[in-house]
Amino acid sequence: MALFDRFRRRDREAAAPLYAAVVARARDPHWYLAGAPDTLDGRFDMVAAVLSMVLLRLEEEQVEPEAARQIVAQLTERFIDDMDAQVRQIGFGDIIVGKHVGRMMGMLGGRLGAYRDGVAAGDLSTALVRNLWRGEPPADGAVAEVGAGLLGLRRALDAVPLATLQAGRLA
């Protein structure tokens, strides 16, 4: 079993630079200066939004689709590991950590679907108000600015080769 654990850890480590880049992009102050909520929930939602843009790019990989699917799996595992650590750091006990992480995975899945639809329509405003602002009215211009930033990131990711993306360079 230890042999399999080593391979699994290495696979998760393969996505470490990309996941670190996703988190760094989500933590960029410009999102919060634009009006994204600088709260625990707001930061989770910015990670989910940026991660969704990367996952959508990987879904559309034409040159190396199998490699992209592996990166998606590795990246998702990194997200789970990170959320597990964050929930534990907040102070949740072992008994309920899995439940909270499972809920966060469900939230990521819902957001991914909403952002997929928004990207296809060229407008993330409905998804952003519902998810990032949790239905609360955002500051004037905040939705447009954050939405434009995310759509710009999504477009820029199209020009990034898969190996470059995996190395943690988003655009």
* 10-residue averages of pLDDT along the chain (171 residues): 49 86 97 94 95 97 95 92 74 68 82 97 96 91 97 97 96 83
For residue 134, which amino acid is it? R
In a domain, 76, yes or no: yes
For residue 97, which amino acid is it? V
In a domain, 171, yes or no: no
In a domain, 24, yes or no: yes
Model confidence, pTM: 0.88
Q: What is the predicted pLDDT for the residue at 93?
A: 65
In a domain, 146, yes or no: yes
In a domain, 1, yes or no: no
Q: Please, what is the Cα angle at 163 between 160 and 164, to 5 degrees?
A: 45
In a domain, 120, yes or no: yes
Q: How many domains does the chain have?
A: 1
Do residues 31 and 46 make contact, with C-beta atoms less than 8 angstroms apart? Answer: yes
Domain that holds residue 89: 8-166
Distance of CA 46 to the CA centre of its chain: 7
In a domain, 100, yes or no: yes
In a domain, 43, yes or no: yes
